[in-house]
Structure 1
Amino acid sequence: MHALRPIRRPVPLAVTPLSRGMIGRTVLALAGFLAVTLFALPLMAAGTTLRLRGDVTARGDTLSFGDLVEGAPADLAARALFRAPALGAVGTIQARRIIEAAASLGLTGIETGGRLQVTVQRAARRVGATEIEAALKRALETGYGLDPKSLSVRLDGDAPMLLAPLDLDGQAAAVDVTYDPRTRRVAGLVVLGERQASLRVAGVAVETREVAVLTRSLNRGEAVASADLTVERRPRDGVPNDVQGAPTLVVGQVAQRPLSAGAVLRSGDVAPPDLVARGDSVAIVFETAGVSLSLRGIANESGRLGASVSVMNAASKKVLQAVVIAPGRVSVGPVPQPQPILQASAAP
């Protein structure tokens, strides 16, 4: 006989009623799932891929989601996430921080392309030394009557730079300017707009003058062409008194000695070309009232226009002193005397 095994009756399961806390957590989980689904489904339907951007240029004080992530939804693209660096500065944002910020908005699956960080540069308007000097010169002209064309401002220190937002596009101005005529020291505040951006600068006002500078080297006797010259402004105290300032007066003259490129031309460096060369055949002209004679001769020396040179009459071999009046032409006539200026006497 087999021993009978007792029949084991199934134990009834206890049913625990749901508490309010459990119901609340369940509802929140479902709401979160629905929110993610609502954001993700349009992106999936449109086939849009969220991709981390590369280097970014910030034009304002903050960086939005659309600035950092390509393909951001239109309703989230303008959402500010991070502060931008200072004007003109460069900063970085870790890729994980951008992904975390996107997750807080219900967006996942951002492609990083292997980037660990995004470089951000803050765009800025840069007002350099040239604009700063121009602003100071305008203020010196208005406030102190100085001629800006003959003035240069040598700013203290390294080249100053005023950084300003891009929307400040007006002309830089110098305010609160002070000037000491004895020391020629100048100082002021360079501003943009209604002083939204400003920089305090100081320097020395230097009086300048125009000088003719060679752009290439010249050999002795070589003529100066217009392309060989440029005009520069140099401090007046640092240039000789006999410098050439008008290139038009120098063009066509010849170098009296070898001249190097970059040299400031002085009055003795160049001279008008010789119109008569030693050994050349010349026409010896004698002209007076009612009489005009011309003989052939040989120049014993070279000379430019108006120079006195020695010539020899080819027929008589007589040596004469003549004045150069044109290329290959000299005059032995009397020097014209200036006519006296007669003044009308007053009637008695």
Structure 2
Amino acid sequence: MRTQLLVLTIVISAFAGPAQAKTTADEIRDAATAFLEAFAQAQTDKGYQVAFEAGNIDPRIALAPCSEALSVEFTGDPWKSEHPSVQVACSGERPWRMFVTTTVSVSGPALVASRPFGRGERITGDMLETRSVVVNASRRGIITDAELVQGMIARRPVNAGSVLTPDLLEAPDAVTRGDHVIITARSGSFSVRTRGKALANASIGEQVLVENLGSSRTVKASVIRPGHVEVPM
């Protein structure tokens, strides 16, 4: 009788073992942490420093076992948030997915104002300096190349030490009201040029009304460079 009970117990255990196997909270957190470590290393190779931590996961959680390696990906942009979530997922026979909160701090070089400057002031090299900042603390982005901003105009006052973001700057007017400009009418490789007068201010890429000085007609043209506009033929 005891032998029969022992055999029955072994048989039950053999079937119950796989059924009770679960993906634990520790396994999910380990997968998220390994993913963050790989992200951090990739950014270190590019000159950034990354500090990170996966959020807490309820230790009571138990999901179906996964026959494949768990996949992990960001569901938020780690360059625009210090708390991007990651999705941990199983695509095995019993697929599932869950979201894990994280804390990610990406530090690296960025342009900051070396002194205060006012609205409408043209940016020059001596107004800029590079410092290490928490890049993803600003959802508006950062600027790292000083050549890209020199000559641009401040949209509003900027304090010394402020991180420069694209929304703080705008391109200067390439044409101003009353300027004489060259109008190019283009169709494929064929073009005709004439002289005109700008009727408003506009920067490169913007459209502006210009008066054709030859015909006195007013046309809408795109500013392609200072003093030059273009219209389709």
Scaled by the length of structure 2, the TM-score of the pair is: 0.53
The offset of 1:181, in angstroms, is: 3.4
Answer yes or no: is the 8 Å Cα contact 1:151–1:205 preserved in 2.
Answer: no
The 2-side partners of 1:286 and 1:261 are apart by: 45
Letter in 1 for 2:217: K
SS of corresponding position for 2:232: coil
Equivalent position to 2:182, from 283, 307, 329: 283
The aligned counterpart of 2:48 is: 150
> Structure 2 matches for 1:18-33, cutoff 5 A?
none
The 2-side partners of 1:284 and 1:314 are apart by: 10
The offset of 1:237, in angstroms, is: 4.6
The aligned counterpart of 1:182 is: 54
- Establish whether residue 270 from structure 1 lines up as the match of residue 166 from structure 2: no
The offset of 1:318, in angstroms, is: 1.7
The offset of 1:332, in angstroms, is: 1.4
Query: Among the aligned pairs, what percent are the same residue?
Result: 28
SS of corresponding position for 1:268: helix
The offset of 1:289, in angstroms, is: 5.2
**Deviations for 1:34-67, whole angstroms, at most 9, x for unmatched residues?**
xxxxxxxxxxxxxxxxxxxxxxxxxxxxxxxxxx
The aligned counterpart of 2:150 is: 251
Answer yes or no: is the 8 Å Cα contact 2:123–2:150 preserved in 1.
Answer: yes
Equivalent position to 1:217, from 113, 116, 122: 116
The 1-side partners of 2:106 and 2:194 are apart by: 56
Give the number of the structure with larger relative contact order, counting CA–CA contacts within 8 Å between residues 6 or more apart: 2
> Structure 2 matches for 1:24-103, cutoff 5 A?
none
SS of corresponding position for 1:181: strand
SS of corresponding position for 1:212: strand
The aligned counterpart of 1:303 is: 202
**Deviations for 1:161-190, whole angstroms, at most 9, x for unmatched residues?**
xxxxxxxxxxxxxxxxxxx8337xxxxxxx
The offset of 1:283, in angstroms, is: 1.6
Answer yes or no: is the 8 Å Cα contact 2:135–2:141 preserved in 1.
Answer: no
Q: CA distance change for structure 1 residues 232 and 279 in 2, over 3 Å: closer, same or farther?
A: same
User: Greater CA radius of gyration, 1 or 2?
Assistant: 1
- Establish whether residue 324 from structure 1 lines up as the match of residue 210 from structure 2: no
Q: CA distance change for structure 1 residues 208 and 286 in 2, over 3 Å: closer, same or farther?
A: same
The offset of 1:145, in angstroms, is: 4.7
Q: CA distance change for structure 1 residues 233 and 290 in 2, over 3 Å: closer, same or farther?
A: closer
- Unpaired runs of at least 5, structure 2: 1-36, 56-102
**Deviations for 1:283-342, whole angstroms, at most 9, x for unmatched residues?**
2122335744222221111112221111112243321010112211111134xxxxxxxx
The aligned counterpart of 1:110 is: none
The aligned counterpart of 1:25 is: none
The 1-side partners of 2:50 and 2:191 are apart by: 58
Q: CA distance change for structure 1 residues 293 and 226 in 2, over 3 Å: closer, same or farther?
A: same
Q: CA distance change for structure 1 residues 207 and 268 in 2, over 3 Å: closer, same or farther?
A: closer
Q: Say how many residue pairs are matched.
A: 146
Higher deviation after alignment, 303-312 or 291-300: 291-300
- Unpaired runs of at least 5, structure 1: 1-140, 154-179, 184-203, 335-348
The 2-side partners of 1:271 and 1:231 are apart by: 20
Equivalent position to 1:229, from 124, 128, 131: 128
**Deviations for 1:89-135, whole angstroms, at most 9, x for unmatched residues?**
xxxxxxxxxxxxxxxxxxxxxxxxxxxxxxxxxxxxxxxxxxxxxxx
SS of corresponding position for 2:54: coil
Q: CA distance change for structure 1 residues 208 and 288 in 2, over 3 Å: closer, same or farther?
A: same
Scaled by the length of structure 1, the TM-score of the pair is: 0.37
**Deviations for 1:134-181, whole angstroms, at most 9, x for unmatched residues?**
xxxxxxx9xx9583842278xxxxxxxxxxxxxxxxxxxxxxxxxx83
SS of corresponding position for 1:332: strand
